[in-house]
Structure 1
Amino acid sequence: MTTFTDPPTWQGTSSDPNDEQFGHVVEPATLDTASEYDAVLVGEPYDGAVIGRKGAADGPRAIRESLAGVKTHHFDAGPVGSVGDLGDVAIPSGGVAMVQDILADTTAAVHETDALPVFLGGDNSLTVPNASPLLDSGSVGVLNFDAHLDCREVPEDGPTSGTPYRQLFEKGLESYACVGARHFETSSAYDDFVREKEAEVRVAEEVGDDPVDCVDRALNSLGDVDHLYVSVDVDVLDAALAPGASAPTPGGITTRELYRMLRLAASDDRVAGFEVVETAPPLDRNGVTVDAAARAVAHFLAGWSA
């Protein structure tokens, strides 16, 4: 099993004693104490599988720093529940497949606690070890907020950030839905692949028309699975709103649309894990992508604990 680095010390940024922020409430945790919290953060500083632009290895640190200054109050849900931070997983050296296999032991241990795992990526290849342990305890459906389907065929030299859902299907994934997919960003062969799996795909324009209907249709399409895993690739957002994604493109959804859908998805009783991936701070502009990713975490936790 891989190990964790020591969790960082969280601090709020406001001097107003009434401003409760995540920096005031997130506490250091260990696997032994994780079950004392509603949710635990797990950093995954890795971008060894990114097809294009590197930088997502810096995502966990930056997301934590941004989240520390976010207030905990949601107007509908109230303050978020208790949150622990396990620190960052120590990424082993080796090829992507090896990293996935070794990390799966650690993520399995996190899933065995009573807390909701919240993985801070890192690149999309780690969706495989993040979600695959759930397959050992029942059927699994994935709701993926993403510009891409990420079901490429695995190259001979190993997996990439574009292969996680094909890999998960090969491991026994029951169902899959992608919300926010972008025209001209996916090859026809990969669209055919997910359609053959009876997957639901809702494109960005449909989200713009009715985000609630899109997420409802996506959740319903997953069927009667035992576990729901929710993934956010920040490139689901329009490039103007997430320039620091590994693969930003125009025509994406807005942060407001994403947050509304996340709160709805998080309220599903089957939720067993959540991740935000492909946030690359070195490629960002004025921290807008990092801030969007951090607030995605906040909105999901608000919807889940409501």
Structure 2
Amino acid sequence: MQPSTDIPETAPDDPRLARWLRSEPDEGKPGVVLVGFPSDEGVKRNDGRAGASAAPGQIRRQLYAMTPDAEDSDRFIKLLEHTNDVGDVPVSGDLQADQLTLGTVIARYLEQGIIPIIMGGGHETAYGHFLGYAENGFATSILNVDAHTDVRPLKEGRSHSGSTFRQALEHGSQCAETYLVAGLQPHAVAASHLAFIDRHRGHYLFRDETNITSISGLFHSHESDRLMATFDMDAVDQSCAPGVSAPCTNGLLPDLWLTAAYLAGRNKQVTSFDISELNPEYDRDGQTARLAALTIWQFMLGLSQRS
């Protein structure tokens, strides 16, 4: 797995993240890794717009061109010195096999105490992400920021981007201790989906209930030692994120979305993070890709400020 971008080198007095993310960590083993999962087979199965498989490369282009935090550059650069982009997980189109492969990759990092940041791909990414916990036998809560619950049944016995959290909650390992989801659109969620979450002692917030206070509360509404964070870009209003697999009318505004990513980074219980459903084929001037990259930047900012 090797990342590739065509972001040029920058001047010494104007460093960009590419300087660190392209290089091996200064002290050997990284504390944070970026991993791409260029799959959208699950989106196709769920009747979404194909194209999310191209997302990791576009996210890198935008992220690599960003600068370290100008307000507290020392701490941000210290994090970058322990961060490595390890490239994309190779995918075959066999979704179940690809998710297992992603799980094995993530399991290795979790076992070493390394925080993986996963760039999807469709939201089937999150199930492969979860399998990393299951492979290690690590119990975790799952926090999802999303317009949809993604607890639909399998289709003809096959997983898809909308079945992710049903699969996690029903996994034989029982490693998914609870499920927390914020940003739901009432016109895009069936009552049976909410009943399923209730049966599994989960919590959910609709779009008009989702604010900084309520999201902060979700971070403290579980008893797990670990928290897997997953951010689906279709939660963001389509005026700000047109390039997604399922555009969202009246979605979250970027300031709330980005603050949620920052809070996830700050929270010591968050041991992994993924972002999914960027679809470059439908993007406008790279607007959604930049937002995806800035979401990761905000998460990293939070990580850099963990005490």
2:39 is the counterpart of 1:46:
yes
Seen in structure 2, the aligned counterparts of structure 1 residues 277 and 161 have a Cα distance that, compared at 3 Å, is same
Corresponding residue number in structure 2 for 1:128: 127
| Shift in Å, 1:23 | 1.8
Seen in structure 2, the aligned counterparts of structure 1 residues 253 and 213 have a Cα distance that, compared at 3 Å, is same
Q: Is the 8 A contact 1:215 1:265 kept in 2?
A: no
Counterpart mapping for 1:184-195 below 5 A: 184-195=187-198
Counterpart mapping for 1:125-274 below 5 A: 125-135=124-134, 136-171=136-171, 172=174, 173-207=176-210, 211-221=211-221, 223-274=222-273
Counterpart amino acid of residue 31 in structure 2 = D
Unaligned 5+ segments in structure 2 are none
> Residue deviations 1:52-88, cap 9 Å, x none?
1001000000000011111111536852512201111
Over the aligned positions, Cα root-mean-square deviation in angstroms equals 2.1
Correspondence for 1:36 among 18, 29, 34: 29
Counterpart amino acid of residue 281 in structure 2 = P
Aligned mates of 2:288, 2:103 — CA distance in 1:
27
Q: Is the 8 A contact 1:35 1:114 kept in 2?
A: no
Unaligned 5+ segments in structure 1 are none
Aligned mates of 2:195, 2:71 — CA distance in 1:
41
Per the alignment, in what secondary structure is the counterpart of residue 282 of structure 1? Answer: helix
2:68 is the counterpart of 1:69:
no
Q: Is the 8 A contact 2:4 2:57 kept in 1?
A: no
Aligned mates of 1:150, 1:141 — CA distance in 2:
16
Corresponding residue number in structure 2 for 1:58: 54
Per the alignment, in what secondary structure is the counterpart of residue 202 of structure 1? Answer: strand
Number of residue pairs aligned between Structure 1 and Structure 2:
294
2:8 is the counterpart of 1:22:
no
Aligned mates of 1:120, 1:261 — CA distance in 2:
17
Q: Is the 8 A contact 2:17 2:66 kept in 1?
A: yes
Counterpart amino acid of residue 141 in structure 1 = S
| Shift in Å, 1:34 | 9.9
> Residue deviations 1:264-291, cap 9 Å, x none?
1221111111001011101111111101
| Shift in Å, 1:7 | 2.5
Q: Is the 8 A contact 1:44 1:91 kept in 2?
A: yes
Q: Is the 8 A contact 1:244 1:285 kept in 2?
A: yes
Counterpart mapping for 1:78-157 below 5 A: 78-80=75-77, 81-82=79-80, 83-94=83-94, 96-135=95-134, 136-157=136-157
Counterpart mapping for 1:4-23 below 5 A: 4=1, 6-8=2-4, 11=7, 15=11, 17-23=12-18
Tell me the TM-score normalised to structure 1 length: 0.89
> Residue deviations 1:140-167, cap 9 Å, x none?
0011011111000112240010000000
Q: Is the 8 A contact 2:38 2:91 kept in 1?
A: yes
Per the alignment, in what secondary structure is the counterpart of residue 153 of structure 2? Answer: coil
Seen in structure 2, the aligned counterparts of structure 1 residues 38 and 244 have a Cα distance that, compared at 3 Å, is same
Of stretches 54-63 and 96-105 in structure 1, the one that deviates more from structure 2 is 96-105
Aligned mates of 2:130, 2:294 — CA distance in 1:
22
Counterpart amino acid of residue 205 in structure 1 = D
| Shift in Å, 1:133 | 2.1
Of stretches 167-176 and 212-221 in structure 1, the one that deviates more from structure 2 is 212-221
Per the alignment, in what secondary structure is the counterpart of residue 49 of structure 1? Answer: helix
Aligned mates of 2:33, 2:200 — CA distance in 1:
32
| Shift in Å, 1:21 | 1.8
Seen in structure 2, the aligned counterparts of structure 1 residues 54 and 93 have a Cα distance that, compared at 3 Å, is closer
| Shift in Å, 1:107 | 2.4
Q: Is the 8 A contact 1:34 1:115 kept in 2?
A: no
Tell me the TM-score normalised to structure 2 length: 0.89
